[in-house]
Structure 1
Amino acid sequence: MTKNTKTSPTKLPVTLRDVEAAAVTLAGFVKRTNFDHSRTLSDITGADIWLKFENLQFTATFKERGALNRLSALSADQRRQGVVAASAGNHAQGVAYHAARLSIPATIFVPAGTPTVKIENTRRHGATVIEGGATLEDAANLAKEHGASCGLTYIHPYDDPLIIAGQGTIALEMLAAVTDLDVLIVPIGGGGLISGIAVAAKSLKPDIEVIGVQATLYPSMYNLIKAQSLPMRGDTLAEGIAVKAPGAITSEIVRALVDDIVLVTEQHIEHALSLLLTIEKSVTEGAGAAGLAAVLADPDRFRGRKLGLVLSGGNIDTRLLSGVLTRQLAREGRLSRLRFDIVDRPGQLAAVVAVLSNAGANIVEVSHQRIFTDLPAKAVVLEVVIETRDRSHLASTIGALRAADIRVDANT
């Protein structure tokens, strides 16, 4: 992506002054989240990594910054009438929470498939939640129609100057804490977060690099800025940035100020999410882990540079989180499924267990299958799920089984 050096941040729809004004509005009502150095992630990646913990906001998402800035600008009549919004969850919670605090009635449309945790949290803040539409764009159309018919003000999730300015306050905090950052790495959905951050960062430090990250399954802004036509499809772990149509205002700002946009695979997102939980003890959703995923995907690009990563949200379904962590254990060779074709007679299972025990492997689950198999009637399929320390330990365990003349197939 070629940087447009002709456009000044002062000539865009959102300016540094707007972001600074938003910071005054938000003061005392939105948490000034920690911006901390991660020594372990820095050691792993070879970069100097600093993490902005927006997943520790009250609603576990940066979205409440923009939501509060927009709601605070409503007239008295608009506040009485109420607001409507469409969201995959995080914008919904930001609007619902601050609308309730300001005594503004709020109705939120969410697309089908929105994680239950996000829906329940939104309801808990007092908003009326309506599920409708297969995509975020469908839900937005329903919200606009409902708002027009009921006289409600539509609060856009990203394509609004006040929303963008609110999100940009994150960059003010990051650069105030660490003035010599080289690169900011920011998730992109509709573009509100990176637009606000780019305006503030480029105004304060013109030579800083701003890089956006999108999931490979939803490269909407990437396609627009790079004149590509990569497909958008499937269920991404980063549903918070699964936006098919970026905003007009955000696209203008991204085109002018963002230095590059990169794509990350689902596997890199899962790995990043797992590392943030196990190393930083911090729960992030898929979109929140996208910045670290970009570093893991291309460590040579960032090695030796001081990086600011935005952990944009922490609203992830616990069942999904469990699945991600388990899959990562399997990738690391710490959780494996072994399959044995054994003779169906006493002592065979004990022989397998004895070898596994001597090898120091922990047995998690055991399953016999006598019926649904093509093996002879006197044979049985034995499946054992085991825990090992790492791939080296797994390899030595399998070696011990084969040395004992036990045939084994490993699903690793």
Structure 2
Amino acid sequence: MLPFMHMLRRAGLVKRILATRRQYSSRFGYEHSRCLVFSNFGQPEKVLKLHSYSIPPPYDDIINVRFIASPINPADINQIEGVYPEKPEFTLGLGTGEKSAVPGNEGLVEIVSCGSRVNPSIRPGQWAIMSGPNFGTWRTYAQAKESNLIIIPDREGISPLQAATVSVNPSTAYCMLKYFAGLGSGDYFIQNAANSGVGRSAIQIGRLWGFKSINIVRDRPDIDRLKEELRLLGGTEVITETEAKDRRYMAKITEGRSIKLALNCVGGESATNLARILGHNGHLITYGAMSKSPFSVPASALIFKNIHCHGFWISAWSKRNEAAKSQMIRDILSWVRDGEFTDIPYEITKWSGDTELETLMEPVKRGISEYSGRKGIFLMDED
């Protein structure tokens, strides 16, 4: 035995054997991943299929991860339809008969096992979220690299659903409030779709930073309940779209207040009204177009009030600002941990080893929109 080990050492094989030990540390060996896939763009109910494939133990810089929760965002639906600017990679690596992609851009994973060249600070059991879009999060297991993940160093006091939904809606609100208009304590911003995921996040982050907000929501039978709900989150004023169109009413609401920032998720007439309400040198930020209608900016607002119009896309910002994104995630999760940031309403679909395609398709077909104020989430059961 000893001469044999001596020969291995001379050949440098002992070091290589020890180095590869970490890569086979998976508790499951070859993980069995179930995923939604599509091979062509189109309506989700027509192109999505349920597929299973095996994932080998990790090697070198590969990390095996288990998905815990994967949100369903409007952008994910748009991506399946082929109308979203970010296009996923279609590959044969999933074991499908034709090149396919896994939808989903946002998700929470648990580290299962790591290859031998993965940073030792990344360990099994840690939580992580996706660092950028196009990873394909509507599945139960996957292989990733360190660059695909933002590790959550402290998960105490944070639920899986809170962690899974931090990187799109709260992050979008955070960036728009921080990087445009130079808002200070006591300054006002106004927004439509205020009961959406981004809208609720903006109300709460604004409150934490000392900003005041005018929040516009669609007219509905339970409007009094919704108004009270958003006021409890920190909304200064909550009004309906009908009220926002009434210039006399809005003159009273904005009297003595210069509105520096407007957040537009709707487009159409609603966005035009925001432009009219903005104060001198105000900024109109468009991050969505739920009405699918273009909007016009009054010439008087451009000429006499010098308002500025911008677009914001969290995916593009994240690619350019990796360090800032990591700090932003830490900020938001610290508010969650301290109980200062409240969850948005969820609609959960359980995903286990025997969940059928029809069940998974229900929230996708609904295409749960920002209008609904409820975020659809796949919640994975560990088999």
Greater Cα radius of gyration, structure 1 or 2: 1
Question: What is the TM-score with the length of structure 2 in the denominator?
Answer: 0.30
Question: What is the TM-score with the length of structure 1 in the denominator?
Answer: 0.28
